[in-house]
């Protein structure tokens, strides 16, 4: 079963987006990107939606890199499951100037409410708090939409889909919360700016290094369902991490160490073993874990021992 990331890119991709694509290309078989994000408007759209010149300059350009990555099976464009093309265009324009309305418009879309996949919670009140505390409203908007699309993609395809989010803010909603395990992985290698896509494609073709990474993540998923001792977790993770890095370095790619936060649903055995909910920190440098209370969508809560999300901006100071 293939392992896919769902990632949101705005109409004006920045350097972080391109770096994230490089990172994700090493971790996942394919990166799914919404057509809502990158399919440019044309002159007909400009007239129909009365797009102002300053906005038009932002949303009409194409980037040939995405065609290249699509041709090489690194990224895949998907049509958001809920919206027709005309609705996409309208919502896309709204998102620039009225981001809050854009979020609510998507989150409470009538087609979403009719689906049996999960119940749509009322986030109107908590959204105000999230917006006031969020550094960037566009982050909040894209993360909510990415989580929803991931749930629906999981339902429609027999493959694994995991959202790659800008922050964990959208999990901090009001209402009943579930317990997840927050893993913070340190010293995870990511290609630096000088690494070419040709090098990355060569790396992706190495089944050995790919399997070593999967061993590492599968072990994290297994821990989430187990009652392993701290010693067992420490020894096995150190072994798997060392084995992965050994194979990674054989490719002689220039890389930087990064921090990656992974939210994983906790199984009953894990919760029973660590029912105190205190900080669990078997290593000071490679891995930290703790239990965290978050607001999950119904579909996200049906995945015991699976990754709920990868978080881009892992906290430098690890907390609850």
Hey, where are the domains in the chain? 3-167, 178-311
- Rounded distance between C-alpha atoms, residue 183 and residue 181, angstroms: 6
| pLDDT reported for residue 281 | 54
- The pLDDT score that the predictor gives to residue 136 is 56
Instruction: State pTM to two decimals.
Output: 0.80
pLDDT at site 94 = 59
Q: Give residue 274's pLDDT.
A: 73
Q: What are the tokens at 54?
A: 């300053």
Strand order in the sheet with 287-294: 75-78, 30-34, 3-7, 160-165, 307-311, 255-265, 178-191, 287-294
The pLDDT averaged over each successive group of 10 residues in the chain (320 residues) is: 87 78 94 76 79 72 82 88 63 54 51 48 49 57 82 84 89 80 89 91 92 92 87 88 92 90 90 63 70 85 88 51
Under a CB-based contact definition with an 8 Å cutoff, are residues 161 and 153 in contact? yes
């Amino acid at each position: 079963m293939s392992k896919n990331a769902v990632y949101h890119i705005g109409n004006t991709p920045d350097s972080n987006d391109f770096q994230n694509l490089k990172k994700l290309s090493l971790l996942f078989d394919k990166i799914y990107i919404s057509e809502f994000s990158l399919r440019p408007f044309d002159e007909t759209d400009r007239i129909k939606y009365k797009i102002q010149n300053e906005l038009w300059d932002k949303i009409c350009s194409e980037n040939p890199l995405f065609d290249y990555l699509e041709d090489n099976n690194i990224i895949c464009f998907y049509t958001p499951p809920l919206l027709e093309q005309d609705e996409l265009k309208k919502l896309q324009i709204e998102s620039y100037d009225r981001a809050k309305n854009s979020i609510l418009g998507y989150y409470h879309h009538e087609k979403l409410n009719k689906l049996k996949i999960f119940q749509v919670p009322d986030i109107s009140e908590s959204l105000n708090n999230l917006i006031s505390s969020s550094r960037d409203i566009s982050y909040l908007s894209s993360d909510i939409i990415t989580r929803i699309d991931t749930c629906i993609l999981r339902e429609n395809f027999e493959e694994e889909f995991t959202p790659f989010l800008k922050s964990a803010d959208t999990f901090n909603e009001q209402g009943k919360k579930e317990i997840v395990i927050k893993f913070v992985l340190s010293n995870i290698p990511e290609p630096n700016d000088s690494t070419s896509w040709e090098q990355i494609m060569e790396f992706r073709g190495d089944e050995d290094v790919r399997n070593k990474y999967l061993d590492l993540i599968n072990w994290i998923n297994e821990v989430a369902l187990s009652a392993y001792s701290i010693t067992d977790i420490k020894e096995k993770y150190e072994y798997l991490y060392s084995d992965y890095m050994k194979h990674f370095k054989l490719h002689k790619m220039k890389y930087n160490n990064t921090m990656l936060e992974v939210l994983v649903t906790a199984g009953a055995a894990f919760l029973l073993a660590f029912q105190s909910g205190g900080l669990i920190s078997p290593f000071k440098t490679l891995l930290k874990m703790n239990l965290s209370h978050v607001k999950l969508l119904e579909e996200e809560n049906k995945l015991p021992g699976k990754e709920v999300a990868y978080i881009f901006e892992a906290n430098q100071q690890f907390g609850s």
